[in-house]
Amino acid sequence: MLTLKRAFIIHKPERRLAAALMAALLILTTALPAPAWQGSAGDEGNKSIELTVYNENLALVKETRPITLTLGLNQIRYADVPAMIDPTSVRFASRTSPAGTRVLEQNYEYDLVGADKLLEKYLDQAIEIVTKDGASHKGKLLNGNGDVILMADDGQVTVLRRDEIRTFTFPALPDGLITRPTLVWTVDTDKAGSHTTDVTYLTGGLSWQANYVLLLAENEKALDLNGWITLDNHSGAAYKDAKLKLVAGNIARAATDNSEKLMLARTVDAAQAPPAPQVSERGFFEYHLYEVNRPVTVSNNQTKQVEFVTGANITTTKSFVFDGSALTYGGYGPVFDQSYGAANQAKVKTMLEFTTGKANNLDAALPAGVVRVFKPDVDGVPLLIGENQIGHTAKGEKVELYVGDAFDIVGERTQTDFKRLGDKTVEETFKIVLRNRKESAVEVRVVEHLYRWSQWEIVQASDKGYTKADAQTIEWRVPVEANGSAEITYTVRYSM
């Protein structure tokens, strides 16, 4: 006891030193108050969400929610953020004290709890395992990667296959593991109490496209259109009662190292527009923005569809296209190989064309998406006749859809002559035959690509009524009688 008492004796010089240290510590403690731990950020039931989704697997989220802060430093856990959030894009602002409240430090915690993570954290610690046969095994975890290896208190080692294990039991959740992605902030404020805060951030895992259902009239001269926004959410979070906006267009993004669902039963009867539009469309910068006119809940791992455009009695035309080679000039030099492009493509494409715009009963731009075309059978049941993809189409522009190959119209393209007229000149001749096995006459657009060299001329053509579609393409409009045929021959000379 005497030794123990002497251990606590402080002599006078040492007392003066201790007093000085205590005073310094008191000053530091007063100058740097410890952060007040606030737990979760606000009442999530009172938060409001604005969700803006882009075409390129990207969304901008704005959350407004109350957060209670104490004067000075606070540490806030902001949970329920998406697993695919870009933490570098987070912006925090207090409406209550905009100038006096700021985030000094942010940490993004995403080490989520899981069986593999728990096994990794519990290496060299005791756990319990129950296998499918009901046997219990306790011991120190030696390995949890693949087969699980335990060592009992007596030194016995047991190897358990993963597919034999029914349950793991761990004493507690290790430090550093969380159940959901969380932002942890150190916030400094000059005003204590409840703050209304805005938090904005970018996240991946959200994208949208348009899906269209077209109902072709029996006479094939008009169609009804019904368009749906199709939104996919795989971001790792849900957005309840969100104000939803969708941006149509291709935005530029900096390169970084980060990382068929239809409502057909309701859409083939397109032409019955709702009394009020569900979606408002307007221009935004050089893009188009679509805003849903009611709150929308977007759950995680969900595909949601919202109708956004309808049109009835839209004038359309059906045409047939024979593109016998489908080759284009690559721009890398002359091609002297006789067999290049000589293979025949016998299919004749069936195309549907219409224009957007008020004059054609479709006063809307069409964002990129999949178009499915239906036509009623004799019993009135709509049947699918083809589908295709369209790009972003401005109001007043033409939409051209390839819906399938014509069954009763056949094209045949044959190289009948090929000549080398010196080191720098080539001539070749083609014969194109079209056969129509239908009971009515048709017109076929014949497309020929001049693919051997950039400099060419047509030196002979049985039908001189061709047009020049572009610098390397010519076209004919060829009528073909019912159960009849038509033929075109032409010779092209390439000069290098």
What is the model's pLDDT at position 13? 45
What is the model's pLDDT at position 129? 84
Fold category of 115-169 in CATH: SH3 type barrels. (2.30.30)
What is the model's pLDDT at position 133? 86
The rounded distance, in Å, linking the Cα atoms of 363 and 276 is 15
Q: What is the mean pLDDT of residues 382-389?
A: 95
What is the model's pLDDT at position 278? 80
Tell me: pLDDT of 5 over 80.
Answer: no
With bands split at pLDDT 50, 70 and 90, how would you rate the model's confidence at 166? confident
More confident position, 114 or 206: 206
What is the model's pLDDT at position 105? 93
Q: What is the mean pLDDT of residues 333-350?
A: 85
Over pLDDT 70: what percentage of the chain? 82
Of the CA atoms within 13 Å of residue 69, those in its CB half-sphere come to 27
Q: Which of 476, 399, 388 is nearest to 433 (CA)?
A: 476
Q: What are the tokens at 46?
A: 């009172």
Q: What are the tokens at 75?
A: 């540490």
What is the model's pLDDT at position 191? 95
What is the model's pLDDT at position 456? 94
More confident position, 64 or 326: 64
Over pLDDT 90: what percentage of the chain? 54
Tell me: pLDDT of 65 over 60.
Answer: yes
Residues 6+ apart with CB under 8 A from 470: none
Interstrand relation of 48-54 and 425-436 (parallel, antiparallel or unpaired): unpaired
Q: What is the mean pLDDT of residues 354-370?
A: 92
Tell me: pLDDT of 200 over 80.
Answer: yes
What is the model's pLDDT at position 177? 53
Tell me: pLDDT of 359 over 70.
Answer: yes
Interstrand relation of 369-376 and 206-216 (parallel, antiparallel or unpaired): parallel
With bands split at pLDDT 50, 70 and 90, how would you rate the model's confidence at 348? very high
- The listed range with the strongest mean pLDDT (36-50, 113-127, 175-189, 266-280) is 175-189
For the chain, domain boundaries:
2-26, 36-111+178-203, 115-169, 207-315, 317-360+396-495
Tell me: pLDDT of 264 over 70.
Answer: no
Distances (CA, A) of 73 to 30, 76, 106, 185, 438: 13, 10, 13, 10, 82
Tell me: pLDDT of 25 over 50.
Answer: no
With bands split at pLDDT 50, 70 and 90, how would you rate the model's confidence at 4? very low
What is the model's pLDDT at position 14? 45
What is the model's pLDDT at position 8? 31
More confident position, 476 or 177: 476
**pLDDT averaged over every residue in the chain:** 83
The rounded distance, in Å, linking the Cα atoms of 145 and 139 is 16
Range of lowest pLDDT (15-19, 32-36, 267-271, 474-478)? 267-271
Q: What is the dihedral of CA 334, 340, 342, 345, to 10 degrees?
A: -110
Range of lowest pLDDT (151-160, 176-185, 315-324)? 176-185
Q: What are the tens digits of pLDDT across the range 411-450?
A: 999 999 999 998 889 999 999 999 999 999 999 999 999 9
Q: What is the CA radius of gyration of the chain?
A: 36
Chain center to CA of 272: 30
Q: What are the tens digits of pLDDT across the range 82-128?
A: 889 998 999 999 999 999 999 999 888 766 555 676 777 768 788 88
Residue pair 38/68 in contact by the 8 Å Cβ criterion: yes
With bands split at pLDDT 50, 70 and 90, how would you rate the model's confidence at 45? low
Angle 372-378-383 (CA atoms, 0-180°, nearest 5)? 20
